[in-house]
Amino acid sequence: MTRPDIHPVAGALGAVLTGIDLTKVTEAEQLEGLKKALAEYLVVFLPEQDMDLDDLERVTDLLGGRDVTPFVTPLEGRPYVIRVIKEPADQLNFANAWHTDLSYLAEPPSYTLLHAWEVPDHGGDTVWSNQYLAFETLSSGLKKTLVGMTAVHSAGMAYGTGGVLDKVKGLSSMAIEPSAEAYKQHPHPAVIEHPVTGRAALYLNPVYTTQFEGWNPLESRALLDHVYRHSINENFTCRLRWERHTLAVWDNRCTLHNALNDYSGARREMFRTSVKGAAPKPFS
């Protein structure tokens, strides 16, 4: 097992990992140290990884296998890789809202990998929030209410035909494919048991969660808004100042993230893959 050096970046989550060259990793066993760090720190940052797209795909496979990213046109000849791009003239970036990647799928991805090719000289940071802590710091009453509840997730608001990204498509260079398919709905537990750590994590996010099952939209909105205010409390977060060739890997089952849009006139280009996951299990 390759044992990386680990330097936490915040009290809640996040660590920088050095001492591992991902261009040389060919066996899953070599990533055991990385996986252990992910279980402990939820999001890890690996600077100076001068990887090409073959390396990115190989590491994704070794972490559990590539998964598709619906509603974004992948790279030609690489159906599992998307380009996360903001050109200098773009007004909007991708993913500028708190979310968990692809939670609208029946089996959402376990991890996301994001590799920086070009970054602004300031701005364009990404922020993550620890959803174990978010759950653990709720009142015992609200914990009891949420455990056992089911929430509906859908990509419709973001990727649906006539949805938010369809309406603003002239303002971004992202290859978004709005679709009626995006309105499909999938239920997931509001509080899930993490399959690796066994810990309880809140599994609700403002982009893809639409309402609670058995609650009407107004009731759902009120509780969801309350939970979201709590789940992105600054005390639960960490923030990455990107550098070219940094690879970030995060666990979607216990984090939310938000890509900040504060670098007007600058270019930022990243390549992203997702690692296959499983249907989230309820925490009980």
94 binds ligand SIN (CB under 6 A): yes
270 scored as a contact of ligand SIN (CB under 6 A): yes
* 17 vs 119 by CB, closer to ligand SIN: 119
Residues in Cβ contact with 24 at an 8 Å cutoff, skipping those fewer than 6 apart: none
- What is the rounded CA–CA span in Å between residue 205 and residue 256? 7
Token output for 203: 């599994």
Residue among 45 and 283 whose Cβ is closer to ligand SIN? 45
C-alpha pair distances (Å), 271 with each of 53, 113, 139, 156 = 8, 8, 39, 24
Q: Does 259 bind ligand SIN (CB under 6 A)?
A: yes
Complex with ligand SIN: residue 253 or 257, whichever CB lies closer: 257
Cα separation, 108 vs 104, whole angstroms: 7
The verdict on 252 binding ligand SIN (CB under 6 A) reads no
Name the segment binding ligand SIN (CB under 6 A); options: 36-44, 51-59, 94-102, 221-229: 94-102
Per-residue x/- marks for ligand SIN, 34-73, CB under 6 A? ----------------------------------------
What would the x/- binding string for ligand SIN be over residues 107 to 146, using CB under 6 A?
A: -----x-x-----------x--------------------
Q: Is 272 in the site for ligand SIN (CB under 6 A)?
A: yes
Least separation in angstroms between residue 246's CB and ligand SIN is 11
Contacts of 247 (CB under 8 A, 6+ apart): 22, 45, 46, 49, 51, 56, 59, 113, 114, 115, 116
The yes or no reply on residue 223 touching ligand SIN (CB under 6 A) is no
